[in-house]
Structure 1
Amino acid sequence: MRPQNGDDPDRFRVENILGGKLYVSPSGPPSGTDQPLADGAYVSLADGEGNLWFLPDPDLNSRPGSGTEFGFQVRSVYDQVLSDPTPVSITVRPVDDPPVGGPDRVGPFREDSQNNAIAVGDLLKNDAPGPADEAAYDGQTVSLVGVAAGVHGTVTLQGNQILFTPDPDFHGTATFTYTIRDSAGLEADVPVEVEVLPVADTPSVGGGTTREDEPLEGIAVARSDKDGPEVTHFYITGVQGGDVYPPGSSQPVADGSFIRAADVGAGLTFVPAPDAFGESGFGFTVHGAVGESLDFLSPEGARAVIRVIPVNDPPVAVDDDLDALIPQRAVEDGDPITFPAALLTANDSAGPANEAGQGLRVVGVSPVEGVAVSLDEAAQEITFIPDQDFHGTASFTYIVEDDGTTDDQSDPQRSAPATVRLTVEPRADLPEVPQVVTTAEDALSEPIRLAKNANDGDEIAAFRIRNVEGGTLYHGDGKTPLILADGVATIPADQGEAYVRFLPAPDRHSALGDTFSFQVQAVAPAYSSESSSPSPKGRRAWSSYPTRTATARRGIPSASW
């Protein structure tokens, strides 16, 4: 800078700096450590004459229409007096700048996926050929001319798209770069971040062998060694031949559901279906899972293979109605009845269908009500006899044993008791009838009381009379003779008793050696197995015939029995 009037000033003042910064640099262009002059700063006469440098603001130039001015004003200082300002105008020629790439983040893509397509046009949307004026005034554009792998993935340029493949088992943020070129041929590299979402790898799962109807516990399930805490769940599917339970739970895992990885530390439990067994057909499949999403399961599942060894199951004995199985009928105070035990086992089961070929035998009997029962185990025969004075529905229990095996070793099993019911038909006991009665010759005796035995009950419905000898029997009224059909007469019992009267044959008496007697038998209708009503079969239970003797004495008007 030189003063216009030729006088030497003391110094210079610079002000109104436009479009850039002004530096004092005696050694050449300013460096990054040089400080720009402030607006209104003073410079020495020497600096003003050759050491001032103007640096335009970045990417600005004097292109027509840009609206940007470059320069400053200078004043000379004479004895502390400022001269009028002298403008300094600077022209900044435009130069081509490198293209500028904007930041990009693409994805998400799945772990272990391949050739994920990224559109080139999407990446170039935020890229530019340089400062705005290069596109506006020069009409420059940018194009993508190359790609380079960065970290955790590989890329290839294929037409209008980039194919990205993450490294195996990687998830997180991967990177690559692409190169853009402007119309002037300048290039720049642009970094790209790629989001890769975790996908579980195939977990490990145990298996094992258990016995029929026994759970297999502690089946280990673990993440793949390639995975970390991002695998938070396991997906259970393909459950076959039983149920899967989490540790300590009584609720099975539904097929096609998730369980938390944190909940399987003690291992899963597999419970085979009842009575099921086999070398195959049992197990379940486990997939690793990131959260409870089917989108991030391990592509392959691990199969828990379980073998179930058959065991012999207990047989099942079924209750029986013995009346329908044997022709004999049990009678109160009657004889023992023996029948084959096979009649009871005919409707019993050796166990599940696979044990149908096993043999069954009765190994124990126990009375319950109304009978004594015994078993000849070798002969497989059962004998029972009604309890004394019992009639009605009697019962006893029996137990069967099979001849099954477990692991090819003999393993007989016994059933729970089954109940056998049978009907014991009533049999009347000897009625209570006076042993001897005395009456006068040709005289009707006093009423003779016929009564049920004290051991009998309401089942006594009548009395049967036969073998009347030496006279005639009358009903209790003494007027109506008993009519014997085929030598037998039956009179009804009123609450277990009835009355008859005896008339000796004319002019007959005991002193002549004549015999006077009749026999009395109590009658009880047979009970059915269901109730105490008379049997529809019309059977009767009779007592034995006790003989009762009537003695007729001459000249003795009456006597006691």
Structure 2
Amino acid sequence: TATANQIIEVTAVNDAPVAVDDSYSVAEEGTVTLTPLDLDSDLDGDILTIVSINGIPLTPGTAQTINVLNGTVSVSDTGVITFTGDTDFNGTVIFPYVITDGTDTATADQIIEVTPVNDAPVAVDDNYTVSEESTVILTPLDLDSDIDGDILSIVSINGTLLTPGTEQVITTPNGTVNIDAAGVITFTPSDNYNGTETFAYVITDGTATATANQIIEVTGVNDVPVAVDDSYSVAEEGTVTLTPLDLDSD
């Protein structure tokens, strides 16, 4: 008998890298650092690099800005990758990235949960016109808004806190604000006042507040003059000068 060996040379072939989805969480309008390669691997131990993000090829050593749906990805010249959501956006952002081991590529997603934060309401000045000694209904919330859709309420008028469901009378520099139990707000200028009356009010969305002004133009009206009796004394057959207007006023 005789014995010999079968010698088989198994030549290496490249194994494609494995890309794994990455998940992150960031507050609305905040910024988060992305680390796409953290969970990725290569069976052959090859060094992995990122080829593209959201279809945009990366250029090593060059700062880049990449637009994605509902946000922006920034890549620094040193390779640091960050994501910032669009203004007032909250929800889930997903975009792909591609890696390579120098030969083969693989694709996975960056998944970013953008959590909502409260946006402060926007209060806008309101303008009214009313005649002297008349009353006007005020509607402070008419022009105000809240991007989150929160219900707005009035916290205070001219520094006085409001109590819902309670009648209140608030003094302003040149008039009076009356609030009935149903929340109807009226302004009455002081007697004989005409000019511009301005006072602040504060609103809330339940969390944040905003301040604006109620601006009321009080137009003048003619006031009836006041005539006052005049008294004189004169000797019999004498003469006296009369001055009827001396005590009268307007």
TM-score, structure 2 length as denominator? 0.54
SS of 2:216's partner is: strand
Within the candidate set 150, 167, 177, 2:95 is matched to 177
Give the secondary structure class of the aligned counterpart of 1:221: coil
Matches within 5 A, 1:16-31: none
Q: 1:154 aligns with which of 53, 64, 71?
A: 71
- 1:277 corresponds to which residue? 194
**Number of the residue aligned with 1:98:** 18
TM-score of the two chains, using structure 1 as the length reference: 0.28
Q: Which residue matches 2:136?
A: 216
Contact 2:99 2:107 in 1 (8 A): yes
Give, as a single letter, the amino acid of the residue that structure 2 aligns with 1:124: T
**Which secondary structure does the structure 1 equivalent of 2:28 belong to?**
strand
Q: Which residue of 2 aligns with 1:249?
A: 167
* Aligned equivalents of 2:117, 2:247: Cα separation in 1: 63
User: Could you say which structure has the higher helix fraction?
Assistant: 1
Match of 1:304 among 196, 214, 217: 214
Distance 1:95 1:253 in 2: 81
Amino acid at match of 1:146: I
Q: What is the aligned-residue identity percentage?
A: 14
Q: Which has the higher contact order (CA 8 A, sep 6+)?
A: 2
Deviation at 1:166, TM superposition (A): 2.4
In 2: Cα distance, 1:236 partner to 1:291 partner: 14
What is the aligned partner in structure 2 of residue 128 from structure 1?
Answer: 39
CA contact (8 A) 2:34 2:83 kept: no
Distance 2:192 2:160 in 1: 14
CA distance in 2: counterparts of 1:193 and 1:177, whole angstroms: 12
**Cα 1:274–1:108, aligned 2, differ >3 Å: closer, same or farther?**
farther
Question: Given the alignment, which residue of 290, 311, 315 partners 2:205?
Answer: 290
Output the CA distance in 1 between the equivalents of 2:27 and 2:148.
22
**1:103 match: secondary structure:** strand
Cα drift, residue 183 of structure 1 = 3.6
* Closer, same or farther: CA 291–226 of 1 in aligned 2, 3 Å: closer
1:403 and 2:241 are equivalent in the alignment: no
What amino acid sits opposite 1:138 in the alignment? G
AA aligned opposite 1:381: S
For the structure 1 residues 403 and 223, does the alpha-carbon distance in structure 2 shift closer, same or farther, using more than 3 Å as the test?
Answer: closer
1:12-91 to structure 2, matched below 5 A, reads none
Q: Which residue of 1 aligns with 2:119?
A: 199
Gaps of at least 5 residues in structure 2 are 1-12, 55-66, 173-179, 234-245
How much has 1:124 moved relative to structure 2? 1.1
Q: Provide the secondary structure at the position in 2 that maps to 1:230.
A: coil
Q: Is the contact between residue 103 and residue 191 of structure 1 (CA under 8 Å) also seen in structure 2?
A: yes
Is contact 1:205-1:219 (8 Å) kept?
no
CA deviations over 1:47-82 (Å, ceiling 9, x no partner): xxxxxxxxxxxxxxxxxxxxxxxxxxxxxxxxxxxx
Pick closer, same or farther for the CA change 1:104–1:215 going to 2, 3 Å: same
SS of 1:197 mapped into structure 2: coil
Q: Distance in 2 between matches of 1:253 and 1:125?
A: 62
TM-aligned CA distance change 1:103 to 1:228, over 3 Å? closer
d(CA) in 2 for partners of 1:105, 1:233: 32
Give, in angstroms, the shift of residue 164 of structure 1. 3.2
Q: Secondary structure at the match of 1:208?
A: strand
Query: Is the 8 Å Cα contact of residues 223 and 231 (structure 1) preserved in structure 2?
Result: no
Q: Distance in 2 between matches of 1:243 and 1:309?
A: 26
1:306, distance to aligned residue in structure 2 (A): 1.0
- Conserved? CA contact 1:220–1:266, under 8 Å: no
Counterpart residue identity of residue 137, structure 2: E
State the distance in 2 between where 1:253 and 1:99 align.
Answer: 68
What's the secondary structure of 1:222's corresponding residue?
Answer: coil
The one of 182, 185, 190 aligned to 1:268: 185
Q: Encode CA deviations 1:505-554: one digit per residue, 9 max, x unaligned.
A: xxxxxxxxxxxxxxxxxxxxxxxxxxxxxxxxxxxxxxxxxxxxxxxxxx
The residue type paired with residue 149 of structure 1 is V
- The Cα offsets for residues 341-391 of structure 1, whole Å up to 9 and x where unpaired, read as xxxxxxxxxxxxxxxxx8x753xxxxxxxxxxxxxx3xx1178xxxxxxxx
The farther-off stretch of 172-181 and 225-234 is: 225-234
2:28 and 2:89 in contact (8 A); partners too? no
Structure 1 segments unaligned to the other structure (5+ residues):
1-92, 110-115, 255-262, 315-357, 363-376, 384-399, 405-561
Secondary structure of 2:111's aligned partner = strand
Cα pair 1:286 1:303 within 8 Å, conserved:
yes
* Counterpart residue identity of residue 72, structure 2: V
